[in-house]
Amino acid sequence: MWGAFSALPTTLYDYPDPMVYVVWSLTMLIPAWFSLRGKKFDRSRTAAGYGLAIGLTGAGGQLLLFKALTIGPAYVIFPIVALSPAITVLMAFGLLRERLGALSWAGVVLALAAIVLFSVSTDTSESNGWLYLLLAVLICVAWGVQAFFMRKAALAGVDDASTFGWMTISGLVLIPVALLMMGGLPLDFPWQAPALTAGTQVLNAVGALFLVMAMSRGKASIVAPVTNALAPVLTIVLSLAVFGARPSVFQVAGIVLALAGSTLMVYRAEKSGEAELVGAAR
């Protein structure tokens, strides 16, 4: 839901997209308080290292995402972002020397085909077309790296509350970057702009906490495909239904291939991750 409506403050009130990031980072404090209440915050070097790596890649991706959503359609951006498991899979292959099964390679091939279709459907006469496509790919890379570190943090025994706490800190750390992008704090906007932003982004923050909790409590091979495939589907459906957009044939094909590739890759990768966790527990 938050993905479909994140661009509304900018569209309706010309609210700067970096301010959307600032409001999002502040809303992260709400679920962080609930998650850490009554629990010990892990300040160890291991937790801090993985937590900041997870948080900075996630927050950096968010900063780019809010810009992308102001210049490009959510129904194209989110399927590309959903291909982030390709980055995670390839990092595991290259850095951890993990063997990849047929499903993983099939997912990578579908991901590449989806990117080609989105590129073909992009209007090359407008610079914004290439810009939002490039930003979507960069977000995909950032969140793929984030997922890799999330997996490593789980194997290292870092609890989900501490991980989310470090994610919140990382989001706040990048606020000065957002302010520099705007040249200062804008004050000449109606109250509806930050209010609408806060209402939308609190869904984003709570969803992030639910994801971290679900990944630590449930089977990753079930949780990850649901969040990587079904979440973009909901965003796409809402975006198309509410804003009345009509994707091209190439875009529809790209959306289908992206979601299929994401599901195949993340299912295979998380099944492998579950095996690692069982081995570590033993």
| pLDDT exceeds cutoff 90 at 108 | no
Q: CA-to-CA distance for 114 and 104, rounded, in angstroms? A: 15
The whole-model pTM stands at: 0.82
Distances (CA, A) of 91 to 95, 160, 242: 6, 22, 37
| Confidence (pLDDT) at 252 | 83
Helix, coil or strand: residue 49 = helix
Q: Note the pLDDT tens digit of each residue in 219-277.
A: 655 666 667 667 777 888 888 888 777 777 877 888 888 778 777 776 655 555 555 54
Q: Note the pLDDT tens digit of each residue in 169-199.
A: 999 999 999 999 998 888 788 999 999 999 9
**What is the C-alpha R_g of the chain?**
18
DSSP state of 100: P
Count CA atoms closer than 13 A to 261's CA, side-chain side: 27
Distances (CA, A) of 172 to 95, 148, 168: 30, 22, 6
Q: CA-to-CA distance for 52 and 240, rounded, in angstroms? A: 35
| Confidence (pLDDT) at 125 | 53
| pLDDT exceeds cutoff 90 at 166 | yes
Neighbours of 250 (CB within 10 A): 15
| Confidence (pLDDT) at 122 | 63
Q: Retrieve residue 155's tokens.
A: 């194997």
